[in-house]
Structure 1
């Protein structure tokens, strides 16, 4: 195998990825509107703690604090020229944590969207987008990231530009999109569309692809089932939110319990995902329950949509965006009383 990611996935069969970055940094004192990436140099001890908490919870892979470390996003904080530096430092801290973990742990360099709309709808050109993604990817590679990790993408044009950026940096990568609009990405892609897009990338294709964030865990599993229905043999990522966001006392909280996320992890694997983690709201306690569940519980069949609803809660929309009635189920709140098979 040419990369630690491929080798570890082959050896173990599935990998536990980490949880939220923003949620956990807010719990450490990050203020709304601040750029989390600035903490890589301003508070490296807190970023080290973020990574170590994921490793201590049993994760095989954690993402670096570099989601917004591109020139477009950083210019909002007068730091556009620091994209390479902040990406590099994020990975350097991660490399230190992984190398002292006592077991193989993958440092995945997080790369988020530029925050701009690409041509022809918007003003961002393909060449400029590739340049920005290349800069971030090169910084991550220089800092010691094992792989790049594209996440929360909505537009196929941006996904393709990132693929070129990773290629220019010589960094193998994985990439997820967010299916948060009635089973589609904000720019209209379905799960089936994503499989075709990834296949069409040819030599630029990611090692692994999938979905992150979106709405709740139920929706994300329905998207994973949509990927697998296309017959793809490429490993699939499931990185869902810890329940549904609720506004309480001036803050956003996610209602997913550690027990719910443990059920989600077992069901995600049964749906066909081989890399399973959490996104918004997912904290170390969630990850510990997910690790224990994946190591001790099995589910031998992909869950029916009704079973997903019963255990994880209602879908946010009746269909998954494809118009395929087979992928529909009543959008109702389940009892959540039963647990995934042991």
Structure 2
């Protein structure tokens, strides 16, 4: 247990991860289509301010502003040659805030999908994917990230490529998927089979879980289905703050601080050890989650009925209703935007 994340998990039992990056940066003036990663150079003080607001709200883990900072996505902004430097800067900004917190705060180097489709359906080879992730993770490591946080994944081969890159960089790692398609990833992976994406790779992940894609109720339902393949591997749940609505030209998320606190308590009951918010989760929501985490005593594992009664109705059909074949690492996959909201 030599890495900082494992040590803090052992010390505290359950950790609070931060909230949304893109959603909050839009509130600070980021425009649609603009890459948050470009703000690392043009508005670093705003990135630092966001990290600080999450630390002030009680986050134990803050994710660097590097979700789309791989060469394939940066190419859209003519910045692919600055991949290493942008990731280094992203980690350095988060590291500065974490080091000034006066308590242990983990810097997680956010690593999102390449935005490309791997062979044989797409043009990106597995080796090229590994190299793209390695380049990014090396930059995050140079900037002081504690862990590679591989997130919002949907394809098993892309997860494995990112994990191989993290291991090659001698970085501890976490990986999460987005189970937003009838309770599965877009590539059809069931939550109980997601861990198999990196099966056999050593060292094993510190944590495996789910983020983005769905609101709190659906995320909790996914959490009941998640398996890690290793009793020592923690479960991560990082839900969107409710359901997005388009109001007066802006995207507004329906979740309240009270609902996110209820979600936090149920996530603990479901066995999650790293709990956070994704799209729409602001520092105010996170402060309520911090209070819930600090005051809650774990209860029995919730049922779907309890989840619906407490947090609200499910939006998606759940994976356990449609069976599981454990497959789905290859096939058609949509491109995600350049920022995790």
TM-score (norm 1): 0.92
Aligned residue number for residue 201 of structure 2: 202
By relative contact order (CA 8 Å, sep 6+), the higher-ranking structure is 2
Superposition pairs of residues 162-311 of structure 1, within 5 angstroms? 162-198=162-198, 200-228=199-227, 232-311=231-310
| TM-superposition CA deviations, 1:115-171 (whole Å, max 9, x none) | 011112211100100010000000000000011101100100100000111112111
Q: Aligned to 2:226, what secondary structure does the other structure show?
A: helix
| TM-superposition CA deviations, 1:11-68 (whole Å, max 9, x none) | 0001000000001100110000001001111111101101101100001000000000
- Structure 2: unaligned runs, 5 residues or longer: 325-341
Q: Count matched residues.
A: 324
Contact 1:111–1:148 (CA under 8 A) maintained in structure 2: yes
User: How far apart are residue 231 of structure 1 and its match?
Assistant: 7.6
Aligned residue number for residue 110 of structure 1: 110
| TM-superposition CA deviations, 1:83-124 (whole Å, max 9, x none) | 111100000111111111100000000000000111122111
Contact 1:182–1:316 (CA under 8 A) maintained in structure 2: no
Change in Cα spacing, 1:195 to 1:164, as seen in structure 2 (3 Å) is closer
Point out the more displaced range, 307-316 or 6-15: 307-316
- Structure 1: unaligned runs, 5 residues or longer: 326-342
Aligned residue number for residue 70 of structure 1: 70
User: How far apart are residue 201 of structure 1 and its match?
Assistant: 3.4
Q: Distance in 2 between matches of 1:17 and 1:273?
A: 12
Q: Distance in 2 between matches of 1:306 and 1:299?
A: 18
Aligned residue number for residue 340 of structure 1: none
Superposition pairs of residues 2-151 of structure 1, within 5 angstroms? 2-151=2-151
Contact 1:220–1:238 (CA under 8 A) maintained in structure 2: yes
User: How far apart are residue 230 of structure 1 and its match?
Assistant: 7.1
TM-score (norm 2): 0.92
